[in-house]
A and B are shown apart, each in its own frame.
Chain A
Amino acid sequence: MALNTGTIAGNWAAWQAAEIVAARVETAQVKTLTLRPQTWRSFRAGQHLDVRLTAPDGYQAQRSYSIASAPEQEGTLDLTIELMADGEVSPYFHEVAQAGDRIEVRGPIGGPFTWTAGQGGPLLLVAGGSGIVPLMAMLRHRANAAPSAQATLLYSSRGWDEVIYREELERRAGDEPQLRVLHTLTRSQPAGWQGFSRRVDDAMLGETLVTLAGVPLCYVCGPSPFVEAVAEGLVAQGVPPERVRTERFGPSGA
Chain B
Amino acid sequence: MSTRGFFGRKRPEGEAGRTPPGQYLTKDFPVLSAGPTPHVPLDRWSFTLEHGGKLLGKWSWEEFLALPRTKVTVDIHCVTKWSKLDTVWEGVSFDKLLAAAKIEAPGTHVMAWCDGGYTTNVPVADLAGGKGMVAFRYGDAPLDPVHGGPARLLVPHLYFWKSAKWVRGLRFLDQDEPGFWEMNGYHMYADPWREQRYTGDP
Binding site for B on A (CB under 8 A): 1, 3-5, 8, 11-14, 17, 50, 52-56, 58-64, 88, 92, 96-97, 101-104, 106, 109-113, 224, 227-228, 231-232, 234-235, 241-242, 244-246, 248, 250-253
Set of chain B residues within 8 Å of A228, measured between Cβ atoms = 31, 37, 146
Nearest A residue to B7 by beta-carbon distance?
Answer: A55
Say whether chain B's binding surface is mostly helix, strand, loop, or mixed. loop
A254 to B82, CA, bound (A): 16
Determine whether the beta carbon of B6 is less than 8 Å from that of A251: no
Set of chain B residues within 8 Å of A227, measured between Cβ atoms = 31
A125 to B62, CA, bound (A): 40
Binding site for A on B (CB under 8 A): 1-9, 11, 21-22, 24, 26, 28-38, 80-82, 116-118, 146, 180-181, 183-185, 197-201
Set of chain B residues within 8 Å of A245, measured between Cβ atoms = 34-35
**How many residue pairs at the A-B interface have CB separations less than 8 Å?**
137
Set of chain A residues within 8 Å of B26, measured between Cβ atoms = 251
**Chain A nearest CB: distance from B9 CB in Å?**
4
Determine whether the beta carbon of A61 is less than 8 Å from that of B35: no
Say whether chain A's binding surface is mostly helix, strand, loop, or mixed. mixed
Determine whether the beta carbon of A234 is less than 8 Å from that of B36: yes
Residue of B7, B35, B118, B184 touching A111 (CB-CB under 8 A): B184
Set of chain B residues within 8 Å of A61, measured between Cβ atoms = 6, 8-9, 22, 24
Determine whether the beta carbon of A96 is less than 8 Å from that of B6: yes
A84 to B117, CA, bound (A): 34
Determine whether the beta carbon of B36 is less than 8 Å from that of A55: no
Set of chain A residues within 8 Å of B118, measured between Cβ atoms = 1
Set of chain B residues within 8 Å of A231, measured between Cβ atoms = 35-37
Cross-chain pairs A/B with CB under 8 angstroms, 5 sampled? A5-B184, A8-B199, A62-B22, A96-B4, A248-B30
Residue of B4, B33, B197, B198 touching A101 (CB-CB under 8 A): B4
Set of chain B residues within 8 Å of A59, measured between Cβ atoms = 8, 11
Determine whether the beta carbon of B198 is less than 8 Å from that of A64: no
Set of chain B residues within 8 Å of A106, measured between Cβ atoms = 198
Nearest B residue to A51 by beta-carbon distance?
Answer: B3
